[in-house]
Amino acid sequence: MNNQTYKKVTVAKSAGFCFGVKKAVERVYELLEEGEKISILGELIHNKSVTDDLEKRGAATIDDVLACEEGSTLVIRTHGVGEAVTKKAQATACKVVDLTCPYVKAIHKIVSEQSRSGKKVVIVGDKNHPEVLGICGWVSGEYYVVNTADEAAALKLDGVCVVAQTTINRTNFEKVVSQIEKNCTNVTVNDTICASTKVRQTEAQELSSQCDIMFVIGGKSSSNTKKLYEICKKNCEQTYFIENFEEIPQDINYKNKKIGITAGASTPQGIIEEVADTMEENKNVELSFEEAMEQTLKTLNTGDVVEGTVVEVRPTEVIVDLGFKSDGIIPASELTDDPDVKPADIVKAGDVIEVFVVGVNDGEGKTLLSKKKLDAIAGYKKLEEALESGKVMSGKVISTVNGGLIVSVEGSRVFVPARQASDRYTEDLSIFMNQNVDLRITEINTRRKRITGSIRSVLVEQKNALASKFWEDAEAGKKYTGVVKSIMPFGVFVDIGGVDGLVHISELSWNRIKNPSEVVSVGDSIEVYIKEINEETKKISLGFKKAEDNPWVIAQSKFNLGDTVSCKVVRFMPFGAFVELIPGVDGLIHISQIALKRVEKVEDELKIGQMVEAKITELNWENKRISLSIKALLAPEVVEEPEAAEEAPAAEEFVPVDVEAFVAENAEEEKADEE
């Protein structure tokens, strides 16, 4: 059998202590080395080898806070405890060291806040597991613990907060949640499965589906190890659940078999090594574990390029398991140059990535990493090739600097001079911020580590191609969807496909406007049509106003002779008052039609902005003239006849006024006054 050849053993990258367990175990050993007298409230972790070793070193395991001797250090294990137990511990004369897993603490906070707000808490997990018991202790109201979809089917609740035991099987959790959402209302689901658990279960799923034999190492009371065994057993019939190398079956046929090893979060690295070493010595299996050990023992140095597994993605950083003594941290700023991109947009838990070691801080046990630097190194070669070939590259504008823009392209910062930022002069470069742009690399200065590019060259090329196509089928009356490129006092220039046309200010609105910016802004997409085109001068006059939006067309369908309308006084003239019927359509109330009495001054009877009721007495759509009368709606005063009749004075003759001539003359005077 010793002469037979065997295939490689694969050890899951995430096998062994998770971040929280490793931190807790290391802290207890540190306290023991410092001479502290330790009492642990329950088993620190579900691993007999570790708990036995701690006991040998003097760490006692107790079941009640009151069993902690005065002056001792009371350790709260990774599973956490309820709020009442926490307060009880703080009230003792013992020093309290809380080693509750950060993920579990987050669940405590969620259920505490949600239950205080009136929510009913549903915990998906094993009701007898110490972690779940601790979570229940932070709920101030109604709560339920379910572990299967069948148990969840019995719930009929309104206002529910769902959390998960950190080590629960993800597939089972999703089934339970689906059932809860069917039966209950106002459900809030919190996916609180530990990131390390997610990674470990995903790796177990993949590895077991590829292997003929699987070994799952961990304590028999460990919940997360049981879940790993269940996952592996479904994919690999020959799966063994063992606590250490002594439990490896002796009658296994390893010939030409693919073998995989994974381990629970409470399994020390030493036990995994013993299992692998035993298999190597007794079965002559060529292990990949030696390579893993060599990497584990290697020292990290600044400048190293290493591979790691993403354990957790936070809003401002990413935690990476490097397989070394400490985990690594990638700050958000070292993931990408783009400030708008979140870490979760780039990586997710379980991703295997290559990173650059920026610095090692043994004091805090943290290693600073950068993904951005490696991306820049790889991208730099692409930029060199683009410079040679003239290939168009894509990037995002991430900042403006004196004299230009900085564009992130393939992980590198490319400087674009202001004159190369657009195909037209642009004074305010901030309008380009966060835009995705195409550019060409025009220069790479290796000595100064400076890369220069041009957006303009790409725009000009694209515009020329579009312009050529445009002139092939351009004609008066044709409609286009254009983009407002610039605004001038006399109108706006609109890009309608590689060429710019002018929409005169008079064509922007049926109402009188003082500046085009009252109607459109730079960058707006608008519908226009060609009014006039001159292929020789390449000048295009565009129309924007729609006939159906003409207020006089609208008015013609809205008003009839004899109608009583509500209108607003907008301006005075010596001969009367102009009123607005609808925006863009004014009518005239002659001074003789304002009141029953004789009116000397219009302003004595009316005020600007006043709403009045008037009767339409004349409609001249051709000349856009509407006459109205307030007097026509007023009842004449009853006057008693005098005993002796007197000769009535001659009625004052009403002389019609040429309104248009008067308005035109007055407009000239107003214009002169403004100037």
Residues belonging to the active site: 131
Contact 604, 595 (CB under 8 A): no
> Which single residue is written with the structure tokens 């023991």?
32
Q: Is 316 exposed, middle or buried (0-12, 13-18, 19+ CB in 10 A)?
A: exposed
Residue type, 30: E
Burial class (CB in 10 A: 0-12, 13-18, 19+), 606: buried
Q: Whose CA is closest to 163, among 144, 142, 185? A: 144
Q: Catalogue the long-range contacts made by 210-213 (C-beta closer than 8 Å, 24 or more residues apart).
A: 210/10, 210/258, 210/260, 211/10, 211/236, 211/257, 211/258, 211/259, 211/260, 212/236, 212/238, 212/257, 212/258, 212/259, 213/238, 213/239, 213/240, 213/252, 213/254, 213/257, 213/258, 213/259, 213/260
For 617, phi then psi, to 5°, come to: -110, -15
Q: Is 45 helix (H, G, I), strand (E, B) or coil?
A: coil
Torsion of CA 433, 434, 438, 443, to 10 degrees: 60
Token pair listed for 310: 């993403």
Cα(328)–Cα(312) distance, rounded to whole angstroms? 11
3 state DSSP class of 162: strand
Cβ contact 134:84 at 8 Å: no
Cα dist from 132 to 28, 82, 97, 156, 172, whole Å: 23, 9, 20, 22, 16
H-only helix segments in 486-539: none
Beta bridge partners of 407: 397, 414
Burial tier of 538 (Cβ tally within 10 Å: 0-12, 13-18, 19+): exposed
The whole-angstrom separation of Cα 619 and Cα 557 is 12
How far is 349 from 229, CA to CA, in rounded Å? 21
Q: CB within 8 A of 135, min separation 6: which ones? A: 80, 104, 107, 108, 111, 123, 125, 163, 165
Distance CA 85, CA 100 (A): 13
Number of H helices, E strands in the chain: 16, 32
Pair 508, 519: CB distance under 8 Å: yes
If DSSP codes are grouped into helix, strand and coil, which group holds residue 161? strand
Q: Give the Cβ contact number of residue 446 at 10 Å.
A: 9
Cα 292 → chain centroid: 37
Query: Residue 609, SS3?
Result: coil
Q: Where are the alpha helices (DSSP H) in 57-101?
A: 83-90
Task: Please check whether residue 164 is in contact with residue 261, taking contact to mean a CB–CB distance below 8 angstroms.
Answer: no
